[in-house]
Structure 1
Amino acid sequence: MLGTDIRGIMAEEEEVQRRQQALKSLVQMRAKQLRESLDERIKRARSSGDWTQLSKAECADLHKQEKAHLKSQLEQLQYEQNRTRGKLTALKRAKARAQRIRAAEAASERKRR
């Protein structure tokens, strides 16, 4: 029974680690976008065919709006990252506890024989 629990804990731990990596990647990407200057953003937008008909003032306004949105996303992602980190820590503790219990049961079984 505990063997199954440990396997379940390990599977969940792997899933949480994958989520943690994905969040880390998203945080890095959003942080990079947040550091982008207006001129860099205009250049990137125009190379993809966007913002071609906009004045620099209009571009600046859109850029400011994007930065506010990115900052909000970044804060949410960092909150999720902290929650995920806590969940991973709890899973590691649960796995260690299950392994100790399993080892104690095995030792107890050997003494009975």
Structure 2
Amino acid sequence: MYFQAKDYSPVPAGTKVAFIGLGTMGFPMAGHLLHAGCQVTVYNRTASKAQAWVEKFGGKAVATPREAAQDADVVFTCVGNDNDLRSVLLGENGAFAGMKKDAVLWDATTDSAEV
């Protein structure tokens, strides 16, 4: 079996990351970011999934996307579809309401070009 060690050196240590959506793809992606030295805060609409992630990897879980995005340098989203993406980004408790001005949004959702 071929195995290649992961090299996380390009990630600046201490980068603050919010990860929103801990499904099949998001759960391990957020874990890799934590192992790379990022400070990771997670949010998932099913809170038990966020708690399971914290139990496995560490980091921090919060109750809203807004809380996750506060003070983050990068906000990752990895949710199901256009409507899911809108629900975690928009509104009073959405990530956009909590993001600082120079933060970066990285969307890994399989969403439409429309959204």
Q: Report the TM-score when normalising by structure 1.
A: 0.23
Greater relative contact order (CA < 8 Å, ≥ 6 in sequence) = 1
TM-score (norm 2): 0.23
Structure whose CA Rg is larger:
1
Structure with more helix by fraction: 1
* Structure 1 or 2: more strand by fraction: 2
